Amino acid sequence: MTDEANFGQYVIEHHDLSQYMRLDAAALKALTLMPSATDGKPNNFYIFVLSFFFDFLYFIFLFFVYLIMMKIKERLMMRVYVSWEQDYVRLWYFK
């Protein structure tokens, strides 16, 4: 708009649309001029397989988190048990 070099270079005209043919949906589909709704989209089977795969990966991740938590819990419990055992031995055997 601010460039004055293009001023007056363009003209707006009306077109007579009666000279063009109108195509219905069946003709458009037969000519494949317009992309259909399913073009470029994966079908439901691939979506199911991918969702199953990612669910499986998520399950594996949660399982490893669970194993790590159990190892930490096991070490903490062992530490508590050892300290309790030492206190018990001190109380009963060294009076």
* pLDDT surpassing 80 at residue 33: no
pLDDT at 63: 92
pLDDT band of residue 86 (cuts 50, 70, 90) is confident
On average, the pLDDT of the chain sits at: 78
Give the N- to C-terminal CA distance of the chain in Å, as an integer.
Answer: 100
Among 48, 49, 29, which residue's Cα sits nearest to residue 39? 29
Contacts of 29 (CB under 8 A, 6+ apart): 36
Does the model's pTM come out above 0.75? no
